Amino acid sequence: MNKCCINCFYDKYLKNFIEESGQIGDCDYCGSINIACIDINKIALILEPLLSLYSPIEEFVSSEEMKNGQYMENGYFHEFTFLWEELLYNWELFDDPLIDANKVETLIEDIVWELGLNEQILQSFVMVESDYYGEGKFTSEIMRDYWDEFCNDIKFDNRFFVSAEIQKELLNPLHQIFPYITIYPESKEIFYRARIQRDKDKIKIEDMGIPQIEYRRPGRANPFPIGYLYLASNELTAITEVRPDISEIVTVGKFILNKSLPILDISHIKPPFDWGWDIRIYYKYVRFLLFLGNELSKPLAPYQEAIEYIPTQFLCGFIKSEGIKGIKYRSHRGPGNNYVFFSEESFKYNELKTYKIESIEYKFSEQK
């Protein structure tokens, strides 16, 4: 059986899989020698869900469009493509050694043969059928448009209600996505929270949790006077998130999770091959999930926060109403991730450390 190698692929998931599951040998495709290789049938099984997205265009495209060799997409004409072009250019699966050896098509042909797929998928132009009808990858673009409409509406017109259209086109699809981005942090996982010491009195450990109602203010996830617990994955991220000045004293508390909880993870999106046969969900929503992750984590100037946090506060309330206990999202200030938990009852405060801020590094760009 032919073997492919780590040099055949640009995709990190496939490279790691070959590295971990393959053996040292010579590649039958790109010609690399004495390198991690694997039987082509094992790669074929990983790629099968991805290949299942595509169908020969003869199954759904009109004869006139086939004759013209192009189709209309978002108001523009696009050329039809072969399967090897989709995998090479749209999914960026293959690396230069395979491309330079002119073996991309050969490798794909062998994968299709191993899976017993209809060879028409090699001979015809292919397409994701739902894209042709505007229901595939364009779903993310449509949802982003509705997000913009929702943000404008909830900030300036209807603070506590959303339209039936927003419910249908934005919130209902989000509800369908939740199971695919839900994770369960393990019991005893450690998180961190920082507070700036504002006077000579040291901050007590019992004061490191959700603030008392008289000290609360609106946040990225919580509207006033609701209180949520904001944590970070490491001390440095926790400290940078509170934006201390030089010479200020910062207290950092360690929080230990007592039991596993369901939370949404939008700090990153799983690579496509991690989705297995749910790759259609990935294909349909990945662009919106990436956008939403940025919306929940982007830094704002203090004067922007009161109004710009309103959409994410509403979204977090919606997520909470679905039985989700928190959200994991990227930090744009520190090197780790941030978390917001809708309750602190599942945490134990463990210990406190006090730090003095010695220096701050700024990165800036000229604005024209």
In a domain, 27, yes or no: yes
Mean pLDDT, rounded, for 316-328: 94
Structure confidence at residue 71 (pLDDT)? 65
Contact 228, 340 (CB under 8 A): yes
Same-domain status, 246 and 98: no
Contact 221, 312 (CB under 8 A): yes
In a domain, 362, yes or no: no
Contact 24, 6 (CB under 8 A): no
Our count of domains for the chain comes to 2
Render pLDDT for 49-76 as a digit per residue (tens, 0 to 9): 999 999 998 888 877 777 676 666 656 6
Same-domain status, 238 and 341: yes
For residue 305, pLDDT over 80 is answered with no
Same-domain status, 101 and 234: no
Strands (E) in 136-219, as ranges, are 182-183, 190-196
Same-domain status, 103 and 12: yes
Same-domain status, 238 and 337: yes
Render pLDDT for 133-162 as a digit per residue (tens, 0 to 9): 666 667 788 888 889 999 998 988 887 888
Same-domain status, 116 and 188: no
In a domain, 89, yes or no: yes
Percent helix / strand / coil, the chain, rounded to 5: 45, 20, 35
Same-domain status, 315 and 222: yes
Q: What's phi and psi for 321, nearest 5 deg?
A: -65, -20
> Which residue range is the domain that position 122 belongs to?
3-132
Among residues 117, 132, 147, the one where a domain terminates is 132
Same-domain status, 188 and 265: yes
Same-domain status, 211 and 350: yes
Of 313, 287, 311, 318, nearest to 171 by C-alpha is: 318
Same-domain status, 243 and 346: yes
